[in-house]
Amino acid sequence: MEGETRHLSIEQQRLNETVSATEKELGSTKHKLQELQTQLAEIKSCHNREIAKVTSRGQTELKGEVDHLRLSNRQLETTLESRERAHRQRVKGLEEQVSLLKTQLSVELQHKQQYIRLSSRTNHQLSGLRRNLTDSLNAVSRDPELSVLASETRRLDRSLTRSLRSSPACPSAPSPVRSPSLSPHRPPPGAEL
C-alpha cells in the first residue's frame, strides 16, 4: 500500500508540474498575442500617417507610391491578423488543456482518497479476522475437545460472514492519469507560430 501511495504521489506531482508548465506557456502566448496586437495598431497608424504625407505632396505624381503603400499595408495587416488568429487558437487550446488537466487531477485525487479509505477498512477487517482466528486456535490448543472445535468453527463462520457483508467491493488501485494529447491541428507546446 505504501508503494501505491508513493506512486500516486509521484503521479500527482507530475500532473501538478504539467499544469504549471502549461499555465506558464499560456501566459507567454497571451503576452505574445498582446505584443502582436500592439504592433498591428502601430503599423496601421504609421501607414496612415505616411499616406497622408504622400497625398499632401501631390496626388497625381505620387499615386503609384500611395498605391504601393496601401498594398504593403494590406499585406502587413493580413499577415499580422493571421498571426493573431493563430495565437488566439493556441491560447484557446492551452486553456482547454489546462482545464482538462485540472479536472483529471481532481478526479484522480478523489480516486486516490477512496482507494486509501477502502484499503484501510479492508486491512482493519483482515486484522480482526486474524485476531479471531488466533483466539480460536489458542482455545482449541488449550482444550482440544470436539465441542470446543465446533464452537470455535461456528464463531469464525459468524465473524467471516459479518466481515463479508460489511465489506464493499474489493478496491482496485486508481489508474494513473495521462496528459491529454494535443489535437492534430494544434502545434506542440513551445512551437513558434
Q: What is the pLDDT of residues 96-108, one digit of tens each?
A: 999 999 999 999 9
**Which residue range(s) make up the domain with 24?**
2-121
* Confidence band for 60, pLDDT divided at 50, 70 and 90: low
Has residue 147 been placed in a domain?
A: no
- Write down the H helix ranges in 60-184: 63-142, 146-166
Has residue 159 been placed in a domain?
A: no
Query: Model confidence over 127-168: pLDDT tens digits?
Result: 888 888 888 788 878 878 888 778 888 888 888 787 777 765
Which amino acid is located at 190 in the chain?
Answer: G
Mean pLDDT of 65-83: 87
Has residue 172 been placed in a domain?
A: no
Has residue 126 been placed in a domain?
A: no
Has residue 24 been placed in a domain?
A: yes
Has residue 167 been placed in a domain?
A: no
Nearest to 76 by CA among 52, 51, 43, 100: 43
- Backbone φ and ψ of 167, nearest 5°: -80, 135
Number of domains present in the structure of the chain: 1
Q: How far apart are CA 90 and CA 29, in angstroms?
A: 8
- Chain centre to alpha carbon of residue 161: 42
Has residue 113 been placed in a domain?
A: yes
